Amino acid sequence: MRKQIAAANWKMNLTYQQGVALLQTMVSAEISLKENHIAVFAVPFPYLEMAVDTVQHKKNYFISAQNCSDKKSGAYTGEVSAEMLKSLTLDYCLVGHSERREYFGESNLMLADKVNLCLLNGITPIFCCGEALQTREQNKQNSFVENQLKQSLFHLSKDEILKIVIAYEPIWAIGTGKTASTEQAQEMHAYIRSVLKNQYGESFSDQISILYGGSVKAGNAKEIFASKDVDGGLVGGASLLASEFLEIIRALK
């Protein structure tokens, strides 16, 4: 069975002290994950070492960076390399989040470089893809997301693609007042898996976890995660509350 993943993206939220308190609450909670269940916490860069230390003895709890540089090293002030993340013994890194694409102009080709550097350093990229409202209204979401996958991931070998986690973000349904239904989530996840199947074969596509990033909350997680091709969620605001995120973890199938 594919790994079922509850991934928390704290974004630029919480002070250091608040982050410590939240992680300690999560670690001390009475929750036991199944072998194929994983909880991942994508925390701000200054909190990474603390976070790794806090969860290291909690079964199937892992820490992720929210981003990394597309450069190996060098005179890039303010950037953080995948090699630096590796030295902190990180297991995951978000790549291509919609906010990085929109606010910082990250292209598909740049993200391909980030994916390569993560894999080179033994870090699992959580590759984000998804369409904006205008693309959805033009009914071009399938071709748009397929192009993101092709340009950023399809240079990878079959062995390498199995080391990728994909997160689908319906950008049009986040903060717009519009709501993505469970059926729409499953439809796009199934399409993404079909694109992977065409490129790598069914046996490989069936092993890749695809997460849903469309405003997952404790109240809707179980219904969304029950969908055949949805393997968990990339969670924003709800991950900042221990009680909410614990319920989301418990909702994994």
Q: What is the pLDDT of residues 88-136, one digit of tens each?
A: 999 999 999 999 999 999 999 999 999 999 999 999 999 999 999 999 9
> Taking the CA of residue 209 as centre, how many other CA atoms within 13 Å lie in the half-sphere pointing to its CB?
26
CA-CA-CA-CA torsion sign (183, 138, 134, 149): positive
Rounded to an integer, the average pLDDT of 178-197 is 93
Which tens digit of pLDDT belongs to each residue from 152-172?
999 999 999 999 999 999 998
Whether 175 shows a pLDDT value over 70: the answer reads no
What superfamily in CATH does domain 4-250 come from?
A: Aldolase class I (3.20.20.70)
Axis-axis angle for helices 16-28, 48-55 (nearest 10): 20
Indicate which residues carry an active-site annotation: 97, 169
Please indicate, yes or no, whether the overall pTM of this predicted structure exceeds 0.85: yes
Percentage of the chain lying above the pLDDT 90 cut: 94
* CA distances, 253 to each of 28, 184, 230, 240 (Å): 22, 19, 10, 22
pLDDT at 32: 84
Residues in the chain: 253
| Average pLDDT over the chain, rounded to an integer | 96
Query: For the chain, which residues make up each domain, given as ranges?
Result: 4-250
